[in-house]
Amino acid sequence: MARVIPALALAACTALPAAAQDFSEGSEANEWGLWGEQKARFEARVVDPICVLSSQCDDACAPGRQSALLRSADDALIMPLKNNQPIFTGAAADLAPFCGQQVEVDGLMIENPENGATHVYQVQRIRALPDGEWAVANRFTDDWADAHPDAAGDGPWFRRDPRINAEIATEGYLGLGVAQEEAFLKDWLGIE
C-alpha cells in the first residue's frame, strides 16, 4: 500500500499538463450557449471506438459505425456526438471519410460534471493533416438526400424519411403503439 499511493500521486501529476491544456487557442468555432461548452481545436486520429476500446477491429470503419477522435496531445478518446448542423444529427457522416487518418478538428467540447458529460464534442470543421482544406461538418443532410432520392420534398428531412415514417406507422409518434397512442390522446388530451 505504501508504494501504491506515491505511484498514484506521480500518475496524477503527469496527467495534469494534458488535462489542463487549453484547446481553445486558434479555434474559430461558433458558440451555441450550451452548458459546459468550450471552444476546442486539436489534432486527432479518427478511430472506430469499438475497435479502440475492445480490440474488436474486424469491422472497424465499416459503413454505419460510429467514429471517435483519439486526441494527439493526450490520447484522450473524444466522442463527437454532433456536427455543425442545427438539426440533431451525429458527426459520423463527416468523420467516416477520415477514419484511420490524422485530422485537425475545430468545434465545441462539452465538459459538465453535473450531468456526467465529459469528452463530448461538437465538430464544426475538419481537415486532413498535414495540409488539407477545412471542410464544414454538415454532410448529413446531403448524404441523406443522396440515399433517399424518392423522399425529396419540402420541409425537414425527418418528416420524409422512410424509416422514421415506417416506425411511426407501427409504433405511433410516442412509441406506445398506435392503439395505445390513440387511447392516450383521447384520455389525456381529449383528442379523437
Q: Could you give the domains of the chain?
A: 37-143 (2.40.50), 159-191 (no CATH)
User: Using 50, 70 and 90 to split pLDDT, how confident is the model at 102?
Assistant: very high
State the chain's mean pLDDT as an integer.
Answer: 86
pLDDT digits (tens, 9 = 90+) for 48-59: 999 999 998 888
pLDDT at 3: 52
User: Using 50, 70 and 90 to split pLDDT, how confident is the model at 16?
Assistant: very low
**pTM listed for this prediction:** 0.75
Query: In angstroms, how far is CA 9 from the centroid of its own chain?
Result: 33
pLDDT digits (tens, 9 = 90+) for 85-96: 877 778 989 999
With b meaning 16 or more CB within 10 Å and e meaning fewer, what string describes 64-86?
eeebbbbbeeeebebbbbbbbbe
Q: What is the mean pLDDT of residues 102-120?
A: 91
Contact by Cβ (8 Å): 127, 41: no
Q: Is the pLDDT of residue 122 over 50?
A: yes
